[in-house]
Amino acid sequence: MSAVIDTHAGEHHHGPARGISRWLLTTNHKDIGTMYLVFSFAMFLLGGTMAMVIRAELFEPGLQIVQPEFFNQMTTMHGLIMVFGAVMPAFVGLANWMLPMMIGAPDMALPRMNNWSFWLLPCAFLILVSTLFMEGGAPNFGWTFYAPLSTTYGPPSTTFFIFAVHIMGISSIMGAINVIATILNLRAPGMTMMKMPLFVWTWLITAFLLIAVMPVLAGVVTMMLMDINFGTSFFDASGGGDPVLFQHVFWFFGHPEVYIMILPAFGAVSHIIPAFSRKPLFGYASMVYAVGAIALLSFVVWAHHMFTVGVPIAGQLFFMYATMLIAVPTGVKVFNWVATMFRGSLTFEAPMLFAVAFVILFTIGGFSGLMLAIAPADFQYHDTYFVVAHFHYVLVPGAIFGIFASAYFWLPKWTGHMYDETLAKTHFWLSFIGMNLAFFPMHFLGLAGMPRRIPDYALQFADFNMVSSIGAFMFGATQLLFLLIVVKCVRGGEAAPAKPWDGAEGLEWTVPSPAPYHTFSTPPEVK
């Protein structure tokens, strides 16, 4: 498949507008993808700074730096910003940049809505972050905002938090509709569903998940809004409501949400590992079915977050077995990635390093997830640092390493320059060591009984907490190196060929680097 030459040089094929209006009014998928990526990295640094406050306070026992009230605001805001501000927009940015190029489309199907769905996000996070400066402070009830902590006892700023969540949800749903419309309608001739790249498949399924669960989140925060301001008692037992109802509705959103944050990473890694193994992906069809199975099962496991609330024993058994079942399609994917690497001609550039670390560390997170799935054992682990260790092993090496792997993999295509490989490998090793130092000791802290979301702790937890904090500072500081690498790459460097990785396959490698402002005006033929 050769690069497509533009034979329709009409007036709409001029380059980008000049100045600020280019970014405010753009409908170009590459510009919007770039804005999502820049926004998500800014949020990543902000959320990371909050994590540094948390780890600085926990560096040694006793209250050092912040008051417990502010500590709770930091844990809440860190979680909310990382989930909704860093991870999700980063994957939407990758989708905006890559999906049209991967399927041979000229742009996203709904370009104006694309612009609108991006610009809602800075507004939402401006509202969310402004709660830090309001009377009574920011949300302080944990990123899961359980009622009645968030309704009866939450700060006055909770209503602003609810408004921000609604705006984020609208942005997500519009983005998801756009992804589905693009993939189903704008594929190049000859690209059947089972010929689509895996990143496209994972995003298609993720988009359906978003449309299914974002209204559930909107529903639960609307019920909170009513309880706070309009005298209803959905979650207030004294008025006939039920606080456990909140958890059921929240986790019915929250568990598929975890997969929304990981499935696009599965897709990206399924491109990177074959490229650097110089082999086709092992078991393409089984990968597609595994992603579908994970997405479907994610709807029937929500109450495994709630084993300790008094779920009937039949319910506990159902959610326990359903949760273990989800390990099967996940195992299929891990097996296929390993089989792809087996006897391949491997090289370890930065994207491959992050991808291999993703597979290994995500698997560790999966194993601790299986431990948490066992209901009687979960009574011991629940609300301890073991849970913090588990979900950070899923989200940091899972989502964040997946994003770094993708960024290094596609950076030459975006900028037209090769990034500095030595610096990128340094970024990888410092991140890898820092991340494991930060989160591995938390398993032991949790098993020894240290509760999560506390600013002070008993003396016997001091050593592991110090190691954890050192690892966290190391991981956090390293991300500034990533910023340097990207800025350096954008500004210049060795020119990138159309296909910088010899094992890479797909339409996006048929266009020149940097990718032209308008990619395919005549769709390519897929043989």
Q: Which of 34, 172, 206, 298 is catalytic?
A: 172
333 in catalytic set: yes
Q: Which of 187, 304, 417, 518 is catalytic?
A: 304
Q: Which of 143, 222, 426, 453 is catalytic?
A: 143
What is the token pair recorded at 334? Answer: 């891990």
Instruction: Report the C-alpha gap between 64 and 58 in whole angstroms.
Output: 8
270 in catalytic set: yes
- Decide: residue 320, CB within 10 A, 0-12 exposed, 13-18 middle, 19+ buried: buried
User: Cis peptide leading into 500, omega within 30 of 0?
Assistant: no
Q: Which of 182, 202, 330, 406 is catalytic?
A: 330
Q: Which of 195, 248, 425, 452 is catalytic?
A: 452
305 in catalytic set: yes
279 in catalytic set: no
452 in catalytic set: yes
171 in catalytic set: yes
Specify the residue for token string 């078991």: 283
255, 291 Cβ separation under 8 angstroms = no
Q: Which of 255, 271, 392, 443 is catalytic?
A: 255
417 in catalytic set: no
Q: Which of 333, 390, 392, 499 is catalytic?
A: 333
271, 229 Cβ separation under 8 angstroms = no
383 in catalytic set: no
* Helix, strand, coil percentages, rounded to 5, for the chain: 70, 0, 30
Q: Which of 171, 206, 340, 513 is catalytic?
A: 171
Q: Which of 257, 349, 378, 508 is catalytic?
A: 257
257 in catalytic set: yes
Total Cβ atoms within 10 A of residue 130: 13
What is the token pair recorded at 281? Answer: 């992906």
152 in catalytic set: no
Q: Which of 29, 166, 271, 305 is catalytic?
A: 305
Task: Name the H helices within 326-453.
Answer: 327-341, 350-373, 375-381, 385-394, 401-415, 421-447
172 in catalytic set: yes
425 in catalytic set: no
Q: Which of 107, 227, 349, 378 is catalytic?
A: 107
259 in catalytic set: yes
Query: What DSSP letter does each residue of 112-148 carry, written as one string?
Result: HHHHHHHHHHHHHHHHHHHGGGSTT-S--STTTT-TT
Q: Which of 29, 30, 55, 78 is catalytic?
A: 78
Q: Which of 26, 270, 368, 468 is catalytic?
A: 270
Bridge partners of 495, per DSSP, are 417
Could you list the active site residues? 78, 107, 143, 171-172, 255, 257, 259, 270, 304-305, 330, 333, 452
